[in-house]
Amino acid sequence: MSKEKIEVLRTTDEYLDKLKKGIEDAVNLIQEGNEIEGIKNIIPVFEGIEYISQAINLTREVQEEEIELEDLNAQLREMIEAFENEDYILLGDLLNYELLPILEEIHEKIRISI
């Protein structure tokens, strides 16, 4: 069973590289004034974060350092609020300056575990 959970962490490790790139692309589009395309890229980001959260919860027993999701969840709430208020500049800032560092920390802890 732990072999499968380590494999989930390996897959999540690879996926995080793609997710972070997708976030950077969305942020760049928003900052360039192309909010519509940026928003199209953000929808898969939300789905990706859901996958990451599920993988973290599934693999708790094989994590070398426990990965907490409180900061990630709090950030998601702020991002959803910015999205609902159509404040795309704030959304881009939250993605770039808040979410990416959280994902980087999660990524580092996953790498320690695999």
CA 112 to CA 110: how far, in whole Å? 5
Query: pLDDT, tens digit, for every residue of 97-109?
Result: 999 999 999 999 9
What's the CA gap between 87 and 51, in Å, rounded? 25
Q: What percent of the chain has pLDDT over 90?
A: 95
Q: Indicate the pTM of the whole model.
A: 0.91
Residue with tokens 């094989």: 62
Q: E strands, 1-114, where?
A: none
Confidence of residue 1 (pLDDT cuts 50, 70, 90): low
Cα-only R_g, the chain: 15
- CA atoms within a 13 Å half-sphere pointing along the CA-CB vector of 12: 30
Quote the CA–CA distance of 82 and 110 in Å, as a whole number: 29
DSSP 17-54: HHHHHHHHHHHHHHHTT-HHHHHHHHHHHHHHHHHHHH
